[in-house]
Amino acid sequence: MNQHERILLLLLFSPLMLFAGLNEEINSLLYEAYGNECQIELSSISLSAGIIESIEKKCKQKFYREQLNCYTITTESGDRFTALLDNVYGKSLPITFLVVFDEQGTIDNSFIVKYRETHGYGVKSKEWLKQFTGKNQKSGFTPGTDIQGVTGSTISVRSVSTGIKKLTLLYNFIQKK
Amino acid sequence: MLKNSISLLISLFLASTLSAQDDMFFEKGGNLGGYGELHYNYVKPENGETTKTLDFHRFVLFYGYNWTEKWSFKAEVEIEHNFVADDHGELELEQAYINYKHADWLNIQVGVILPSVGLLNEFHEPPLFLSVERPDYHKNIIPTTWFGNGLAITGNYKAFDYKLTIMEGLNGNKFSESSGIRSGRQKGFKSNAENLLYNARVDYYGVSGLKTGISFTYNKAFHEIDEIPFTLVEFHSTYYKDNVYAVFEYGNISYSNYEIEKSYGFYADLGYNVGGLLGINGELIPFVRFTDYNPSAVTKSGGDAEIKYHNSKWMIGTAFKPIPEVVFKIDYSSQKTELGDAKVDYFNIGAGYMF
């Protein structure tokens, strides 16, 4: 293989390297939370117009895309969890986040996978995200009332809180299916 | 062999650059934000005339454009007091910078930027503080909004957040006993770049509800006779959890070669969100504040000069946020100046928003 062919090959595959990068980050977060022996299966969910309309109306926030990544996690002891990956806008850029549900639809974990803004990093902190653990579709997600704020992250706090609520409602739809 | 190794390295660099720049969720484009605040101010001095003012104090538009997930532009234009003519009102370009985000821990800004000094200089939207007007400390000790031409490096690592700034210095000819360094800001207007200003800040937010930090600023302010070196050290902390809202900020400025040798100030807020208790949608936060500041705390001449601008103030008030981005406020305060024991009462009502 000559130099030009090698460059062409790397350029062609570089976008795949990126997807791998994001998934590697997600896998790393999930392995840390559920053990290195857990099994993770990736699938994609297409949202119907009806589901989108119903959830967006309740949450007053739009879905970022009509397709979401879904990760099914099976731990070494056989417990099963489902993680949904979505994005919400912060002040100006998308925030990629992952919410993990147990089989009853209760939030078991939440993670900020990629934070593109240049300030307001407080929403990335594990301490802040812990507030969502234990919540379900009947819980309150209102910042200031149900969710503590973060100084300097007002808009990100509101976006992420609503985004997590959105996925909690969505999980309920998926379960019914 | 060497040639092959170099070509492989170049190939890997190109590939990694491409993949680093290609974000599956990023979409390039612009975005709009802003904030504004309307104030009613009733000022009643013990000796003097009472004034009543209705003022649309600030109208700010923020515009940003993201070319890639790493390269972006951000700008903020502000109109103060609704009208600009002669000595009335101000039209200011408070931010306008190119931003390069290499990673969470390394972000670079070049243009009109804000040094990171205290809680409000960078983020001062009305819903972010409880009083109608910004705290006196942020006028008389920290010259909020402090902006100018320069370069900043910011970043985040775990629960730490930092910012380093190198920017235009201050004009020492405009320092004063009544407001310390405030009038020395060049505001990016054909700035004298003789002596640059250095500012460093680190914040920690690893404890739920708490944000705490410290900053250090140094500059040799230019002056027609002799430069005025000064250092500003400040500490800031907020705690907002379980409906408790607490703020504390303290700042100290030390000067050399100048009539004033030291300025200092602090304030503390304590509030409680009773919205949940009263069954109200949103946050209703009654609060109390104590402020003490003295821009001329220690002077070369001493005597009355050191107590003339020493003010302390008690404030009580309430802020109501129906949603986090909208706030209505009311406060009453009584200020005492040490020299002459002069008192002034203030009553303010305000409405503000951010988006």
**pLDDT of B32-47, one tens digit each?**
999 999 999 999 999 8
Cα(A84)–Cα(A101) distance, integer angstroms: 8
Q: For chain A, what is the domain count? A: 1
- Confidence grade of residue B27 (pLDDT, cut at 50, 70, 90): confident
- pLDDT average, residue stretch A18-27: 75
**Cβ-Cβ contacts under 8 Å for A55 (sequence gap 6 or more):** A63, A166, A169, A170, A173
Q: Which pair of structure tokens corresponds to residue A138?
A: 């009947």
Write the CA distances from A2 to A10, A12, B8, integer angstroms: 13, 16, 10
Provide the 3-class DSSP secondary structure of residue A161: helix
For residues B5 and A45, the model is more confident at A45
**pLDDT of A31-85, one tens digit each?**
999 999 999 999 999 999 999 999 999 999 999 999 999 999 999 999 999 999 9
Half-sphere exposure of A160 (CA within 13 A, CB side): 33
**Cβ-Cβ contacts under 8 Å for A18 (sequence gap 6 or more):** B19, B20, B22, B23, B24
Taking a C-beta distance cutoff of 8 angstroms, is the pair A101, A111 a contact?
no
**pLDDT of B243-269, one tens digit each?**
999 999 999 999 999 999 999 999 999
Q: Is A8 on the interface with B (CB under 8 A)?
A: no
- Domain edges within chain B: 64-311
Q: Is B238 on the interface with A (CB under 8 A)?
A: yes
Q: Tell me what pLDDT residue B15 has.
A: 45
Residue to mutate among B95, B156, B211, B269, with most A CBs inside 10 A, is B156
| Helix or strand (DSSP H, E) at B161 | strand B160-167
Mean pLDDT of chain A: 87
**ipTM of the complex model:** 0.75
B270: β partners:
B246, B288
Residues 121-140 in B contacting A (C-alpha not used; CB under 8 Å): 122-123, 125, 127-128
A77 CA to chain B: closest CA distance, Å? 31
Kindly report the backbone phi and psi dihedral angles of residue B232, in degrees, each rounded to the nearest multiple of 5, phi listed first.
Answer: -120, 120
Cα(B112)–Cα(B152) distance, integer angstroms: 10
Option in B27, B241, B325 nearest A154 (CB): B325
B202 CA to chain A: closest CA distance, Å? 13
**pLDDT of B131-179, one tens digit each?**
999 999 999 999 999 999 999 999 999 889 999 999 999 999 999 999 9
* pTM metric for this prediction: 0.85
Option in A18, A116, A118 nearest B154 (CB): A118
CA nearest B152 in A: which residue? A118
User: Which residues of chain A have a CB within 8 Å of the CB of B26?
Assistant: 93-94, 116
Q: Is the model's pLDDT at A87 over the cut of 50?
A: yes
User: Which residues of chain B have a CB within 8 Å of the CB of A157?
Assistant: 324
- Confidence grade of residue A102 (pLDDT, cut at 50, 70, 90): very high
Cα(B181)–Cα(B253) distance, integer angstroms: 9
CA nearest A93 in B: which residue? B26
B243 Rama class: left (phi>0) / alpha (psi -120 to 50) / beta: left
Cα(B116)–Cα(B104) distance, integer angstroms: 18
User: Which residues of chain A have a CB within 8 Å of the CB of B12?
Assistant: 10
Residues 305-344 in B contacting A (C-alpha not used; CB under 8 Å): 321, 324-325
**Class of B64-311 in CATH:** mainly beta
The DSSP letter of residue A24 is: H
A105 CA to chain B: closest CA distance, Å? 25
**pLDDT of B294-343, one tens digit each?**
999 999 999 999 999 999 999 999 999 999 899 999 999 999 999 988 99
Write the CA distances from B247 to B38, B135, B200, B251, B299, integer angstroms: 23, 11, 21, 14, 29
Cα(B87)–Cα(A94) distance, integer angstroms: 42
Taking a C-beta distance cutoff of 8 angstroms, is the pair B260, B298 a contact?
yes
Q: Tell me what pLDDT residue A152 has.
A: 75
**pLDDT of B73-96, one tens digit each?**
999 999 999 988 877 889 999 999
User: Among candidates A105, A108, A84, A109, which has minimal Cα distance to A163?
Assistant: A84
Taking a C-beta distance cutoff of 8 angstroms, is the pair B271, B286 a contact?
yes
Which residue bears the tokens 């006993």?
Answer: B177
Q: Is A2 on the interface with B (CB under 8 A)?
A: no
Q: Is the model's pLDDT at A7 over the cut of 70?
A: no
Residue A98 belongs to what domain range?
3-176
Cα(B41)–Cα(B330) distance, integer angstroms: 10
User: Among candidates B80, B145, B166, B130, which has minimal Cα distance to B268?
Assistant: B130
